[in-house]
Amino acid sequence: MTKIEEIKLEDLKPKKFIEQKINEISSIIGSGLAINALSGGVDSSAVTMLGHKALGEKLKTYFIDNGLMRQDEPGYVVTLFKKLGVHVEILDAKKEFFNALKGLTDPEEKREAITQTFYKNVFGQLVKKSGAKFLLQGTIYTDVEETIAGIKRQHNILEQIGINTEESFGYKVIEPLIQLRKTGVREVAKALGLPEKVYKRPPFPGPALVARVIGEVTPERVETVRKATKIVEEELSDTKAFQYLAILHEDRVTGIRDGKRDFGLQIEVRCWESKDALKGTPTRLPYDTLDKLAQRLTTEVAGVVSVTYNITKKPPSTIEAV
């Protein structure tokens, strides 16, 4: 395993970094073809722009619709990048992902299912069809650190844990952002000309809403957490917190609806202050904000009878629940 050298924020010169990475990408790929997946997050958005500056038409960008993303995300991403001159193709892979997740409840097994479906099935097929030999992706320094430290297997960590992607999946992975942390990526994204709503967007995990569903991941349970996520994002975007999210619990609790017993769902809200996601502190939200969240989540999301707010720091908590 080659040691990755971090580029600290104070040493980062975004324009120079971009120039260097464009040269590196063009020389590795030469006249060949590359593909990349764009989720709409800051990391994959930055990689998409870098890749297109380096390769132009030789890079094909896909939005993998795994059925696990936030509401209206595919349309949002395609429209946004169209304005930036990048064509993004949507690939419907909902069935593959839900089949792979069926019956799984263990967090690391769920993460492994996402990794295998993403890299082996979906990208393996794409690579075969397109003839591309390279996958460009937005792995960052913190992803590597957490996986190596044994905290969570970040879905995108492959070569660093000994997976030979050429042997296992049939293509090589290129990771231009791997020496940067999130704040550095935001600087690069800004210098690449991405709009503020992209380079300032709160982080969203690679395994998407799977990271926020405790227990089995079914289309219905994802729909519940997707609706709750939308409400939490609407209510908390003004806080300017590092990240805010909704989690669907596995346990049900007794509640009351229309004067009758309702053995219903529990949503946990989390809102984090953090610099680089390695440590975090819950935001001291005003009680009125919490009250409004409880009101909206119990009336707008079917089946929810209980809303809690996480008051635990990371560590021992983590930012996501899975």
Largest CA distance in the chain: 68
Compose the 91-130 pattern: x for residues touching ligand XMP by CB under 6 A, - for all others: ----------------------------------------
Q: Give whichever of 171 and 244 is closer to ligand XMP, judged by the CB atom.
A: 244
Stretch touching ligand XMP by CB under 6 A, among 126-134, 204-212, 227-235, 295-303: 204-212
How far apart (Å, rounded) are the C-alpha atoms in residues 181 and 183? Answer: 6
- Within 10 angstroms of residue 84's Cβ, the number of other Cβ atoms is 16
Q: Give whichever of 29 and 37 is closer to ligand XMP, judged by the CB atom.
A: 37
> Minimal CB distance to ligand XMP: which residue?
206
- Interaction between residue 320 and ligand XMP (CB under 6 A): yes
How far apart (Å, rounded) are the C-alpha atoms in residues 235 and 271? Answer: 11
What DSSP state is assigned to residue 117? I
Q: Give whichever of 194 and 305 is closer to ligand XMP, judged by the CB atom.
A: 194
CA distances from 80 to 6, 110, 157, 225 (A): 30, 30, 27, 24
- Interaction between residue 282 and ligand XMP (CB under 6 A): no
- In sequence order, which ranges of the chain are alpha helices (DSSP H)? 14-29, 42-55, 73-83, 94-101, 107-115, 123-130, 141-148, 165-169, 182-191, 196-199, 219-236, 287-300
C-alpha 272 chain-centroid distance? 16
Instruction: Out of 67, 78, 143, 213, point to the residue binding ligand XMP (CB under 6 A).
Output: 143
> Under rule CB under 6 A, how many of the chain's residues touch ligand XMP?
18
Pairing of strands 260-273, 243-248: antiparallel
Tell me the two tokens of residue 100.
């792979």
Stretch touching ligand XMP by CB under 6 A, among 29-37, 85-93, 120-128, 198-206: 198-206
Compose the 46-85 pattern: x for residues touching ligand XMP by CB under 6 A, - for all others: ----------------------------------------
Distance in Å, CB of 277 to ligand XMP, minimum: 4
Compose the 296-315 pattern: x for residues touching ligand XMP by CB under 6 A, - for all others: ------------------x-
Q: Please name which of 219, 252, 232, 204 lies closest in space to residue 301, comparing C-alpha atoms.
A: 232
- Interaction between residue 246 and ligand XMP (CB under 6 A): no
CA distances from 92 to 68, 96, 207 (A): 11, 9, 16
Q: Using CB under 6 A, which residues numbered 258 to 277 contact ligand XMP?
A: 277
Q: Please name which of 12, 88, 14 lies closest in space to residue 45, comparing C-alpha atoms.
A: 88
Compose the 145-184 pattern: x for residues touching ligand XMP by CB under 6 A, - for all others: -x----xx-xxx----------------------------
Return residues touching ligand XMP (CB under 6 A). 143, 146, 151-152, 154-156, 203, 205-207, 211, 243, 277, 314, 318-320
